[in-house]
Structure 1
Amino acid sequence: MDAAKAMVERTLLIAPFSGIVAEVNGEVGEYVTPSPPGIPTLPAIDLINMDSLYVAAPIDEIDAAKIRTGMEIRITLDAFPKRIFKGKTRSISPYVLEQAKQARTVEIEADFLDPMENGSLLAGYSADVEIVLDSRQQVVKVPAESLLEGGYVYALQPDGHLERRKITTGLSNWRSFEVISGLVGGEKVVTTIDREGLADGVEAIVDTAAKNAEVQ
């Protein structure tokens, strides 16, 4: 009797926490075994705990040394473009990831600060994470998409022609760069730098709808 009971218990998978079954990877009659140490294998069941959603994001290795657990972050989701969610870093990877043709990055994980927001979120959403490592007020800045390799921009001259100009940048994020020298507030720069025919001295027509082209 005890042997039969033990055999039945071996057919049960007991979840370590309550959650929602997202996917069943096993098949009827298939044997399931634990993953060997250091060798990740596909789980029999993907279980999601909606009470502990978090964000995983790659951070450039240059900034990784400045990040600490417990730092507040801003999270934006493509599904909610007009909302900014507050979060806090909970872990920082101890190693650097190297991806082909991309910068080396360190992965961090961050929790949402307001657990009440979890009810409107789904696991698997794409997200952007912004960590404020430093800030300055009343500075000149340009859109990130206007900056060329080597620190150059195309600035619009009063006569309507473009000038390829070297600038010195300071603080930056994925949206904009601080300008330390080379531009003044109110000047206009080209943001469509992949456009054919773009060169120093060519005549340009200003797109009045492109408000982000103005140096702020």
Structure 2
Amino acid sequence: MRPLHRRLLSGLLVLLLLAAAISWLRRPQPVMVTLQTVANGKVEASIANTRAGSVEACQRAKMAPIMGGRIEYVGVKEGDRVKAGQVLMRLWNEDQQAQAGLASAQLEAVRRRVSEICTAADSAAREAERSRKLAEQGFVSTGREEVVRMEADAKRAACETARAEVKSSDARLASVRIEQRRTVLIAPFAGTVAKIVGEVGEYTMPSPPGIATPPAIDLIDDSCLYVKAPMDEVDAPRLAAGQAVRISLDALPGKTFEGRVRRIAPYVSAVEKQARTVDIEVDFGRPEEALGHLLVGYSADVEVVLASRENVLRIPTAAILEGNRVLVLRPADSKLEERKIKPGLANWEYTEVLEGLTAGEQIVTSQERAGVKAGVLAKAEEEAAK
């Protein structure tokens, strides 16, 4: 009987071990999650531009001559720095130069004639005065004195007429010189020549109304730069001049410039097939840094800081589920618990937590993974690696 009893006990033991193994294999497996420890830090509420903005120059002139003509002189090259008042381009204007020379000669002739006529008028006035005195003494007749006085008055009138002709000739010369300026492009400010359209001998003309044509010379004052960026219309009520801004550029990855909002457009831009936006202009906080690194036309992004709080309880914004819910890992049983929070300030990176969490708790940041939900066993990826 003993061998049989032993065999029965051995079989029962095998069955128990097999059942235990099956139970162990079928036990719930913890899901792998990424965790973030709740801690204190800085949180800012901010808004960003909807489309890329651009670096602009405070002064930029896309110049074209007032009248059309053949280019006779180009005094600069693309990339040259110029001074205010420097002649950049001149059209053929020999006909106007000839007219100016003629007007100048006519003015000189009229001035000489004025000198001659007015000198004669002064002499006639003195002669009339002598005749009056002689007539009073009876040495000349009254008729003679009257004739001399009338001649003096006539010469005085001729003198005034000649002086009026001088003014007329002077105005005519000024008009011709102004007409000459219509054929010359002069730098309105100091800057850099960005673009020249046209060569010596080619014909250029101003843009007709409603038809955009390239400017003859594009002049940029790159000593003063700012950023112009479009913001979504829904954010417009929260914008104000003087707000702090962080500026980033694709051309300088990893570098951020401080700035301030200087102007908000007084209207909403409605571009076809694009969102309605409000343009803002941002000044650089330290212009000397920007001038050494930036080119006009760089694409730029701006982040306007609406409010900022230091040393507050915060969590990653990406960890928040719909309805302001988060998944917390309970250390007692390693299960996930759903917790509702009360958020405060928030941006795309962090959200302030006013209620619902305490410092040191761990929340899940990988909610998109399969099987991650409240009530399941969970294990941090770092622990699984160990």
Q: TM-score band, normalised by the shorter chain?
A: 0.5 to 0.7
The answer to whether residue 144 in structure 2 is matched with residue 50 in structure 1 is no
Structure-1 residue corresponding to 2:303: 130
CA distance in 2, matches of 1:64, 1:77: 23
CA distance in 2, matches of 1:102, 1:163: 42
CA distance in 1, matches of 2:271, 2:299: 19
Match of 1:119 among 267, 279, 292: 292
Question: Alpha-carbon deviations, 1:51-70, whole Å to 9, x = none?
Answer: 22212234454543243223
TM-score by length of 1: 0.67
Structure-2 residue corresponding to 1:166: 340
Structure-2 residue corresponding to 1:183: 357
TM-score by length of 2: 0.42
**Paired residues for 1:143-162 under 5 Å:** 143-158=316-331, 159-162=333-336
Tell me the CA shift for residue 34 of structure 1. 6.2
Alignment-mate amino acid for residue 177 of structure 1: T
CA distance in 1, matches of 2:330, 2:223: 55
Structure-2 residue corresponding to 1:141: 314
CA distance in 2, matches of 1:143, 1:15: 53
**8 Å contact from structure 2 (residues 343, 353) kept in 1:** yes
Tell me the SS of whatever aligns to 1:52: strand
CA distance in 2, matches of 1:26, 1:175: 51
Structure-2 residue corresponding to 1:212: none
- For the pair shown, the structure with the greater C-alpha radius of gyration is 2
Structure-2 residue corresponding to 1:214: none
CA distance in 2, matches of 1:187, 1:35: 68
Question: Alpha-carbon deviations, 1:31-64, whole Å to 9, x = none?
Answer: 541664xx9x575365543222212234454543
Tell me the SS of whatever aligns to 2:239: coil
**8 Å contact from structure 1 (residues 71, 89) kept in 2:** yes
Structure-2 residue corresponding to 1:70: 242
CA distance in 1, matches of 2:338, 2:253: 37
**Aligned CA distance change for structure 1 residues 54 and 139 (closer, same or farther; 3 Å):** same
Alignment-mate amino acid for residue 294 of structure 2: L
Question: Alpha-carbon deviations, 1:82-132, whole Å to 9, x = none?
Answer: x44221211102234579999865331101122211112233444443333
Q: What's the C-alpha RMSD, in Å, of the aligned pairs?
A: 4.0
Structure-1 residue corresponding to 2:258: 86
Tell me the SS of whatever aligns to 1:56: strand
Tell me the SS of whatever aligns to 1:189: strand
Identity %: 47
Tell me the SS of whatever aligns to 1:65: helix
Tell me the SS of whatever aligns to 1:133: strand
**8 Å contact from structure 1 (residues 25, 42) kept in 2:** no
**Aligned CA distance change for structure 1 residues 96 and 162 (closer, same or farther; 3 Å):** farther
CA distance in 1, matches of 2:365, 2:271: 27
Number of aligned residue pairs? 203
Tell me the CA shift for residue 25 of structure 1. 7.5
**Aligned CA distance change for structure 1 residues 199 and 8 (closer, same or farther; 3 Å):** farther
Alignment-mate amino acid for residue 373 of structure 2: D
Question: Alpha-carbon deviations, 1:1-51, whole Å to 9, x = none?
Answer: 118999986666555444445556789757541664xx9x57536554322
- Compare the two structures and name the one with the higher helix fraction: 2
Q: Which runs of no fewer than 5 residues in structure 2 stay unpaired?
A: 1-94, 99-176
CA distance in 2, matches of 1:22, 1:70: 31
**8 Å contact from structure 2 (residues 265, 280) kept in 1:** yes
Tell me the CA shift for residue 204 of structure 1. 4.3
Alignment-mate amino acid for residue 173 of structure 1: N
Match of 1:2 among 83, 87, 96: 96
**Aligned CA distance change for structure 1 residues 102 and 35 (closer, same or farther; 3 Å):** closer
Tell me the SS of whatever aligns to 1:69: coil
**8 Å contact from structure 2 (residues 207, 213) kept in 1:** no
